[in-house]
Structure 1
Protein backbone atom coordinates (compact mmCIF):
# COMPACT_ATOMS: atom_id res chain seq x y z
CA UNK A 1 0.00 0.00 0.00
CA UNK A 2 2.90 2.32 0.81
CA UNK A 3 4.36 1.85 -2.68
CA UNK A 4 1.06 2.86 -4.30
CA UNK A 5 0.90 5.97 -2.11
CA UNK A 6 4.41 6.89 -3.25
CA UNK A 7 3.33 6.63 -6.90
CA UNK A 8 0.29 8.81 -6.28
CA UNK A 9 2.23 11.46 -4.40
CA UNK A 10 5.13 11.51 -6.85
CA UNK A 11 2.92 11.76 -9.92
CA UNK A 12 0.75 14.46 -8.33
CA UNK A 13 3.83 16.54 -7.50
CA UNK A 14 4.96 16.18 -11.10
CA UNK A 15 1.53 16.98 -12.55
CA UNK A 16 0.20 19.59 -10.13
CA UNK A 17 1.20 22.58 -12.25
CA UNK A 18 -0.77 21.10 -15.18
CA UNK A 19 -3.73 20.11 -13.00
CA UNK A 20 -4.10 23.52 -11.39
CA UNK A 21 -3.50 25.30 -14.68
CA UNK A 22 -6.50 23.47 -16.19
CA UNK A 23 -8.67 24.24 -13.14
CA UNK A 24 -7.69 27.92 -13.14
CA UNK A 25 -8.24 28.13 -16.90
CA UNK A 26 -11.76 26.73 -16.50
CA UNK A 27 -12.57 29.12 -13.65
CA UNK A 28 -11.28 32.17 -15.52
CA UNK A 29 -13.15 31.18 -18.67
CA UNK A 30 -16.41 30.71 -16.76
CA UNK A 31 -15.98 34.01 -14.90
CA UNK A 32 -15.34 35.86 -18.14
CA UNK A 33 -18.44 34.28 -19.68
CA UNK A 34 -20.59 35.35 -16.73
CA UNK A 35 -19.30 38.93 -16.89
CA UNK A 36 -19.94 39.20 -20.64
CA UNK A 37 -23.44 37.72 -20.26
CA UNK A 38 -24.34 40.15 -17.47
CA UNK A 39 -22.99 43.20 -19.28
CA UNK A 40 -24.50 42.44 -22.70
CA UNK A 41 -27.64 40.65 -21.51
CA UNK A 42 -27.58 38.44 -24.58
CA UNK A 43 -28.89 34.96 -25.21
CA UNK A 44 -26.40 32.41 -23.93
CA UNK A 45 -24.94 30.08 -26.51
CA UNK A 46 -24.35 26.41 -25.89
CA UNK A 47 -21.19 25.55 -23.97
CA UNK A 48 -19.43 22.47 -22.70
CA UNK A 49 -19.99 21.60 -19.07
CA UNK A 50 -17.17 22.79 -16.80
CA UNK A 51 -16.80 19.34 -15.28
CA UNK A 52 -16.25 17.80 -18.71
CA UNK A 53 -13.35 20.16 -19.31
CA UNK A 54 -11.54 18.46 -16.43
CA UNK A 55 -11.00 15.55 -18.84
CA UNK A 56 -8.07 17.65 -20.10
CA UNK A 57 -6.31 16.65 -16.87
CA UNK A 58 -6.58 12.99 -17.85
CA UNK A 59 -5.14 13.68 -21.29
CA UNK A 60 -2.21 15.57 -19.81
CA UNK A 61 -1.53 12.81 -17.27
CA UNK A 62 -1.52 10.17 -20.01
CA UNK A 63 0.93 12.22 -22.11
CA UNK A 64 3.29 13.78 -19.56
CA UNK A 65 3.86 10.88 -17.17
CA UNK A 66 5.11 8.32 -19.75
CA UNK A 67 7.58 10.93 -20.99
CA UNK A 68 9.03 12.17 -17.71
CA UNK A 69 7.92 9.99 -14.80
CA UNK A 70 9.57 6.89 -16.28
CA UNK A 71 13.06 8.38 -16.19
CA UNK A 72 12.61 9.80 -12.72
CA UNK A 73 11.37 6.65 -11.01
CA UNK A 74 13.72 4.27 -12.84
CA UNK A 75 16.68 6.46 -11.89
CA UNK A 76 15.57 6.04 -8.26
CA UNK A 77 15.91 2.26 -8.58
CA UNK A 78 12.41 1.13 -9.52
CA UNK A 79 11.96 -1.60 -12.11
CA UNK A 80 10.06 -1.13 -15.35
CA UNK A 81 7.32 -3.40 -14.01
CA UNK A 82 6.95 -1.30 -10.85
CA UNK A 83 6.81 1.86 -12.94
CA UNK A 84 4.18 0.42 -15.28
CA UNK A 85 1.93 -0.93 -12.54
CA UNK A 86 2.18 2.36 -10.67
CA UNK A 87 1.43 4.34 -13.82
CA UNK A 88 -1.79 2.46 -14.52
CA UNK A 89 -2.84 2.62 -10.88
CA UNK A 90 -2.57 6.40 -11.19
CA UNK A 91 -4.55 6.26 -14.45
CA UNK A 92 -7.33 4.23 -12.79
CA UNK A 93 -7.61 6.52 -9.76
CA UNK A 94 -7.73 9.71 -11.79
CA UNK A 95 -10.17 8.24 -14.32
CA UNK A 96 -12.50 7.16 -11.50
CA UNK A 97 -12.16 10.53 -9.72
CA UNK A 98 -13.03 12.58 -12.82
CA UNK A 99 -15.88 10.18 -13.69
CA UNK A 100 -17.30 10.52 -10.18
CA UNK A 101 -17.07 14.30 -10.25
CA UNK A 102 -18.69 14.43 -13.70
CA UNK A 103 -21.54 12.17 -12.55
CA UNK A 104 -22.25 14.29 -9.46
CA UNK A 105 -21.95 17.56 -11.41
CA UNK A 106 -24.32 16.28 -14.09
CA UNK A 107 -26.97 15.60 -11.46
CA UNK A 108 -26.45 19.07 -9.96
CA UNK A 109 -26.79 20.69 -13.37
CA UNK A 110 -30.07 18.90 -13.97
CA UNK A 111 -31.73 19.34 -10.58
CA UNK A 112 -30.04 22.20 -8.73
CA UNK A 113 -28.48 24.74 -11.07
CA UNK A 114 -30.64 27.08 -13.10
CA UNK A 115 -30.30 27.87 -16.82
CA UNK A 116 -28.65 24.56 -17.57
CA UNK A 117 -30.46 24.01 -20.86
CA UNK A 118 -27.57 25.56 -22.83
CA UNK A 119 -24.99 23.25 -21.25
CA UNK A 120 -23.63 20.36 -23.32
CA UNK A 121 -22.57 17.42 -21.18
CA UNK A 122 -20.78 14.40 -22.60
CA UNK A 123 -22.82 12.24 -20.24
CA UNK A 124 -26.02 13.40 -21.85
CA UNK A 125 -24.60 13.55 -25.38
CA UNK A 126 -23.52 9.90 -25.24
CA UNK A 127 -26.64 8.89 -23.26
CA UNK A 128 -24.57 7.49 -20.41
CA UNK A 129 -27.12 8.94 -18.01
CA UNK A 130 -29.63 6.38 -19.33
CA UNK A 131 -27.85 3.88 -17.06
CA UNK A 132 -28.30 5.97 -13.92
CA UNK A 133 -25.58 7.63 -11.85
CA UNK A 134 -23.75 4.38 -11.07
CA UNK A 135 -23.90 3.16 -14.68
CA UNK A 136 -22.75 6.54 -15.96
CA UNK A 137 -19.80 6.42 -13.56
CA UNK A 138 -18.79 2.93 -14.73
CA UNK A 139 -19.08 3.79 -18.43
CA UNK A 140 -17.07 6.97 -18.01
CA UNK A 141 -14.36 5.28 -15.96
CA UNK A 142 -13.92 2.52 -18.53
CA UNK A 143 -13.81 4.98 -21.44
CA UNK A 144 -11.41 7.39 -19.74
CA UNK A 145 -9.13 4.53 -18.72
CA UNK A 146 -9.11 3.18 -22.27
CA UNK A 147 -8.35 6.62 -23.72
CA UNK A 148 -5.51 7.19 -21.27
CA UNK A 149 -4.00 3.79 -22.09
CA UNK A 150 -4.21 4.60 -25.81
CA UNK A 151 -2.41 7.91 -25.37
CA UNK A 152 0.13 6.25 -23.10
CA UNK A 153 1.03 3.55 -25.63
CA UNK A 154 1.42 6.17 -28.36
CA UNK A 155 3.69 8.30 -26.19
CA UNK A 156 5.64 5.34 -24.80
CA UNK A 157 6.43 4.14 -28.33
CA UNK A 158 7.89 7.43 -29.54
CA UNK A 159 11.40 5.94 -29.72
CA UNK A 160 10.44 2.87 -31.77
CA UNK A 161 9.45 2.59 -35.48
CA UNK A 162 6.38 0.56 -34.47
CA UNK A 163 5.29 3.51 -32.33
CA UNK A 164 5.61 5.85 -35.31
CA UNK A 165 3.56 3.40 -37.37
CA UNK A 166 0.82 3.42 -34.73
CA UNK A 167 0.69 7.22 -34.88
CA UNK A 168 0.42 7.12 -38.68
CA UNK A 169 -2.32 4.47 -38.60
CA UNK A 170 -4.33 6.39 -36.00
CA UNK A 171 -4.06 9.69 -37.85
CA UNK A 172 -5.08 8.08 -41.14
CA UNK A 173 -7.75 5.72 -39.81
CA UNK A 174 -10.68 8.10 -39.30
CA UNK A 175 -10.32 10.26 -42.47
CA UNK A 176 -9.71 7.18 -44.64
CA UNK A 177 -12.48 5.20 -42.95
CA UNK A 178 -15.02 7.99 -43.38
CA UNK A 179 -13.99 8.74 -46.97
CA UNK A 180 -14.53 5.18 -48.23
CA UNK A 181 -18.26 4.28 -48.26
CA UNK A 182 -17.69 0.59 -47.64
CA UNK A 183 -15.66 1.37 -44.50
CA UNK A 184 -17.81 4.23 -43.26
CA UNK A 185 -20.47 1.98 -41.80
CA UNK A 186 -17.84 0.01 -39.85
CA UNK A 187 -16.32 3.21 -38.44
CA UNK A 188 -19.78 4.35 -37.36
CA UNK A 189 -20.52 0.96 -35.78
CA UNK A 190 -17.21 1.06 -33.91
CA UNK A 191 -17.89 4.45 -32.32
CA UNK A 192 -21.49 3.50 -31.62
CA UNK A 193 -20.31 0.41 -29.75
CA UNK A 194 -17.62 2.41 -28.00
CA UNK A 195 -19.57 5.49 -26.95
CA UNK A 196 -23.30 5.13 -27.63
CA UNK A 197 -23.86 1.54 -26.60
CA UNK A 198 -27.39 0.75 -25.44
CA UNK A 199 -26.02 -2.01 -23.20
CA UNK A 200 -24.01 -0.95 -20.18
CA UNK A 201 -22.36 -4.36 -19.95
CA UNK A 202 -21.28 -4.41 -23.60
CA UNK A 203 -20.22 -0.74 -23.60
CA UNK A 204 -18.09 -1.04 -20.47
CA UNK A 205 -16.79 -4.45 -21.54
CA UNK A 206 -15.75 -3.20 -24.98
CA UNK A 207 -13.88 -0.25 -23.50
CA UNK A 208 -12.15 -2.46 -20.96
CA UNK A 209 -11.22 -4.94 -23.68
CA UNK A 210 -9.54 -2.16 -25.65
CA UNK A 211 -7.88 -1.00 -22.44
CA UNK A 212 -6.36 -4.46 -21.93
CA UNK A 213 -5.09 -4.46 -25.53
CA UNK A 214 -3.47 -1.05 -25.06
CA UNK A 215 -2.17 -2.11 -21.65
CA UNK A 216 -0.38 -5.08 -23.21
CA UNK A 217 0.95 -2.99 -26.09
CA UNK A 218 2.24 -0.34 -23.75
CA UNK A 219 4.08 -2.95 -21.72
CA UNK A 220 5.80 -4.28 -24.86
CA UNK A 221 7.22 -0.80 -25.45
CA UNK A 222 8.03 -0.18 -21.79
CA UNK A 223 9.96 -3.36 -21.10
CA UNK A 224 12.30 -2.57 -24.02
CA UNK A 225 12.61 1.09 -23.15
CA UNK A 226 16.09 2.35 -22.28
CA UNK A 227 15.45 6.09 -21.91
Structure 2
Protein backbone atom coordinates (compact mmCIF):
# COMPACT_ATOMS: atom_id res chain seq x y z
CA UNK A 1 0.00 0.00 0.00
CA UNK A 2 1.41 3.37 -1.04
CA UNK A 3 0.46 6.22 1.26
CA UNK A 4 1.45 9.85 0.66
CA UNK A 5 1.57 12.03 3.78
CA UNK A 6 1.35 15.82 3.58
CA UNK A 7 3.45 17.37 6.32
CA UNK A 8 5.86 14.48 6.01
CA UNK A 9 8.47 15.83 8.43
CA UNK A 10 6.12 16.40 11.36
CA UNK A 11 6.41 14.34 14.53
CA UNK A 12 3.23 12.37 13.87
CA UNK A 13 4.11 11.89 10.21
CA UNK A 14 7.63 10.58 10.86
CA UNK A 15 6.27 8.05 13.35
CA UNK A 16 3.55 7.02 10.90
CA UNK A 17 6.05 6.63 8.07
CA UNK A 18 8.19 4.35 10.20
CA UNK A 19 5.17 2.24 11.21
CA UNK A 20 4.03 1.88 7.61
CA UNK A 21 7.50 0.96 6.37
CA UNK A 22 7.89 -1.64 9.11
CA UNK A 23 4.71 -3.41 8.07
CA UNK A 24 5.76 -3.49 4.42
CA UNK A 25 3.80 -0.53 3.08
CA UNK A 26 5.35 2.17 0.87
CA UNK A 27 5.07 5.53 2.64
CA UNK A 28 6.03 8.83 1.06
CA UNK A 29 6.13 12.22 2.73
CA UNK A 30 5.69 15.67 1.24
CA UNK A 31 8.28 18.11 2.61
CA UNK A 32 9.05 21.78 2.02
CA UNK A 33 12.80 21.70 2.51
CA UNK A 34 15.32 19.38 0.88
CA UNK A 35 17.37 19.10 4.09
CA UNK A 36 14.44 17.23 5.68
CA UNK A 37 14.72 14.36 3.20
CA UNK A 38 17.31 12.38 5.17
CA UNK A 39 14.96 12.05 8.14
CA UNK A 40 12.26 10.57 5.91
CA UNK A 41 14.66 8.14 4.31
CA UNK A 42 15.77 7.07 7.79
CA UNK A 43 12.10 6.41 8.62
CA UNK A 44 11.72 4.28 5.50
CA UNK A 45 9.74 6.85 3.50
CA UNK A 46 10.22 8.39 0.08
CA UNK A 47 10.70 12.17 0.35
CA UNK A 48 8.63 14.29 -2.06
CA UNK A 49 9.66 17.94 -2.28
CA UNK A 50 6.75 20.36 -2.69
CA UNK A 51 5.54 23.56 -1.03
CA UNK A 52 1.82 23.13 -0.38
CA UNK A 53 1.40 26.90 -0.01
CA UNK A 54 2.74 27.50 -3.53
CA UNK A 55 1.67 24.41 -5.49
CA UNK A 56 -1.42 23.82 -7.57
CA UNK A 57 -3.66 20.76 -7.51
CA UNK A 58 -2.35 19.35 -10.80
CA UNK A 59 1.26 19.61 -9.61
CA UNK A 60 0.44 17.86 -6.36
CA UNK A 61 -1.66 15.22 -8.14
CA UNK A 62 1.42 14.12 -10.07
CA UNK A 63 3.07 13.17 -6.77
CA UNK A 64 0.04 11.08 -5.86
CA UNK A 65 0.21 8.88 -8.95
CA UNK A 66 -0.06 5.26 -7.90
CA UNK A 67 -1.01 6.09 -4.29
CA UNK A 68 -3.65 4.08 -2.46
CA UNK A 69 -4.23 6.66 0.28
CA UNK A 70 -3.26 10.14 1.42
CA UNK A 71 -2.92 11.58 4.91
CA UNK A 72 -3.06 15.28 5.71
CA UNK A 73 -0.81 15.75 8.73
CA UNK A 74 0.51 19.20 7.85
CA UNK A 75 0.16 22.26 10.05
CA UNK A 76 1.57 25.74 10.35
CA UNK A 77 2.74 24.85 13.86
CA UNK A 78 2.92 26.70 17.19
CA UNK A 79 3.98 30.31 16.93
CA UNK A 80 2.87 30.71 13.33
CA UNK A 81 0.64 33.56 12.22
CA UNK A 82 -3.11 33.44 11.86
CA UNK A 83 -2.67 33.82 8.11
CA UNK A 84 -0.64 30.60 7.89
CA UNK A 85 -3.27 28.71 9.86
CA UNK A 86 -5.46 29.37 6.85
CA UNK A 87 -2.92 28.78 4.09
CA UNK A 88 -1.57 25.54 5.60
CA UNK A 89 -4.15 23.98 7.94
CA UNK A 90 -7.17 24.90 5.82
CA UNK A 91 -6.03 25.50 2.26
CA UNK A 92 -3.42 22.73 2.30
CA UNK A 93 -6.02 20.16 3.28
CA UNK A 94 -8.36 21.33 0.53
CA UNK A 95 -5.52 21.26 -1.99
CA UNK A 96 -4.70 17.67 -1.05
CA UNK A 97 -8.37 16.74 -1.49
CA UNK A 98 -8.41 18.38 -4.93
CA UNK A 99 -5.23 16.56 -5.92
CA UNK A 100 -6.46 13.22 -4.59
CA UNK A 101 -9.58 13.50 -6.72
CA UNK A 102 -7.50 14.36 -9.80
CA UNK A 103 -5.20 11.40 -9.15
CA UNK A 104 -8.05 9.01 -8.43
CA UNK A 105 -7.01 8.36 -4.82
CA UNK A 106 -10.11 7.69 -2.72
CA UNK A 107 -8.78 7.07 0.81
CA UNK A 108 -8.14 10.34 2.63
CA UNK A 109 -7.28 10.73 6.32
CA UNK A 110 -7.04 14.19 7.86
CA UNK A 111 -5.50 14.97 11.23
CA UNK A 112 -7.74 17.68 12.64
CA UNK A 113 -8.18 18.85 16.23
CA UNK A 114 -10.71 18.41 18.97
CA UNK A 115 -12.83 21.55 19.02
CA UNK A 116 -12.32 22.27 15.33
CA UNK A 117 -15.24 24.32 14.05
CA UNK A 118 -15.50 26.76 11.15
CA UNK A 119 -17.50 29.04 13.46
CA UNK A 120 -15.33 28.66 16.57
CA UNK A 121 -15.20 31.60 18.97
CA UNK A 122 -12.18 31.91 21.28
CA UNK A 123 -11.71 35.58 22.16
CA UNK A 124 -8.93 34.87 24.66
CA UNK A 125 -6.61 33.83 21.81
CA UNK A 126 -7.49 35.11 18.31
CA UNK A 127 -4.75 33.03 16.65
CA UNK A 128 -6.02 29.85 18.28
CA UNK A 129 -9.54 30.80 17.22
CA UNK A 130 -8.28 31.08 13.64
CA UNK A 131 -6.62 27.68 14.01
CA UNK A 132 -9.85 26.02 15.17
CA UNK A 133 -11.78 27.72 12.40
CA UNK A 134 -9.21 26.70 9.78
CA UNK A 135 -9.28 23.08 10.93
CA UNK A 136 -13.08 23.11 11.03
CA UNK A 137 -13.33 24.56 7.53
CA UNK A 138 -10.86 21.95 6.24
CA UNK A 139 -12.89 19.16 7.82
CA UNK A 140 -16.09 20.50 6.27
CA UNK A 141 -14.48 20.72 2.83
CA UNK A 142 -13.13 17.18 3.00
CA UNK A 143 -16.41 15.73 4.30
CA UNK A 144 -18.22 17.29 1.34
CA UNK A 145 -16.19 15.24 -1.16
CA UNK A 146 -18.24 12.31 -2.38
CA UNK A 147 -15.28 11.05 -4.42
CA UNK A 148 -13.22 10.48 -1.26
CA UNK A 149 -13.41 7.76 1.38
CA UNK A 150 -12.49 10.20 4.14
CA UNK A 151 -11.92 9.84 7.84
CA UNK A 152 -11.49 12.92 10.04
CA UNK A 153 -9.38 12.24 13.14
CA UNK A 154 -9.65 14.83 15.93
CA UNK A 155 -7.04 14.23 18.65
CA UNK A 156 -7.16 15.93 22.02
CA UNK A 157 -4.21 17.92 23.39
CA UNK A 158 -1.04 16.45 21.89
CA UNK A 159 1.83 15.37 24.13
CA UNK A 160 5.35 14.16 23.51
CA UNK A 161 6.97 11.02 24.85
CA UNK A 162 6.23 7.35 24.28
CA UNK A 163 2.77 6.15 23.43
CA UNK A 164 0.79 3.85 25.67
CA UNK A 165 -1.05 1.97 22.93
CA UNK A 166 -4.27 2.56 24.87
CA UNK A 167 -6.82 5.00 23.49
CA UNK A 168 -10.43 6.10 23.41
CA UNK A 169 -11.74 6.57 19.87
CA UNK A 170 -15.33 7.51 19.05
CA UNK A 171 -17.52 10.25 17.62
CA UNK A 172 -17.38 11.97 21.01
CA UNK A 173 -14.95 11.11 23.80
CA UNK A 174 -14.70 14.21 25.98
CA UNK A 175 -11.64 16.35 26.57
CA UNK A 176 -8.31 14.70 27.12
CA UNK A 177 -4.70 14.32 26.03
CA UNK A 178 -3.00 11.92 23.66
CA UNK A 179 0.68 11.22 22.84
CA UNK A 180 1.61 11.94 19.23
CA UNK A 181 2.96 8.39 19.05
CA UNK A 182 -0.51 7.00 19.73
CA UNK A 183 -2.03 9.30 17.11
CA UNK A 184 0.36 7.80 14.55
CA UNK A 185 -0.54 4.28 15.65
CA UNK A 186 -4.24 5.03 15.19
CA UNK A 187 -3.65 6.54 11.74
CA UNK A 188 -1.75 3.43 10.67
CA UNK A 189 -4.66 1.27 11.78
CA UNK A 190 -7.26 3.51 10.14
CA UNK A 191 -5.51 3.28 6.78
CA UNK A 192 -6.24 -0.44 6.69
CA UNK A 193 -9.79 -0.16 8.02
CA UNK A 194 -12.18 0.99 5.28
CA UNK A 195 -15.08 0.64 7.68
CA UNK A 196 -14.09 3.95 9.27
CA UNK A 197 -14.63 5.90 6.04
CA UNK A 198 -17.21 8.66 6.37
CA UNK A 199 -16.61 9.12 10.09
CA UNK A 200 -15.35 11.98 12.24
CA UNK A 201 -13.62 10.45 15.25
CA UNK A 202 -12.24 12.05 18.41
CA UNK A 203 -9.17 10.53 20.04
CA UNK A 204 -7.71 10.70 23.54
CA UNK A 205 -5.82 8.33 25.79
CA UNK A 206 -8.01 5.57 27.21
CA UNK A 207 -8.10 1.90 28.06
CA UNK A 208 -8.66 0.19 24.69
CA UNK A 209 -5.84 -1.18 22.55
CA UNK A 210 -5.49 0.68 19.25
CA UNK A 211 -6.56 -2.28 17.11
CA UNK A 212 -9.58 -2.88 19.33
CA UNK A 213 -10.60 0.79 19.28
CA UNK A 214 -10.35 1.05 15.50
CA UNK A 215 -12.27 -2.19 15.01
CA UNK A 216 -15.00 -0.89 17.31
CA UNK A 217 -15.19 2.39 15.38
CA UNK A 218 -15.63 0.36 12.20
CA UNK A 219 -18.46 -1.61 13.77
CA UNK A 220 -16.63 -4.92 14.01
CA UNK A 221 -16.93 -5.27 17.80
TM-score normalized by structure 2? 0.29
**Structure with greater helix share of residues:** 1
TM-score normalized by structure 1? 0.29
Question: Which is greater in Rg?
Answer: 1
Determine which structure has greater relative contact order: mean sequence separation of CA pairs < 8 Å that are 6+ residues apart, divided by chain length: 1
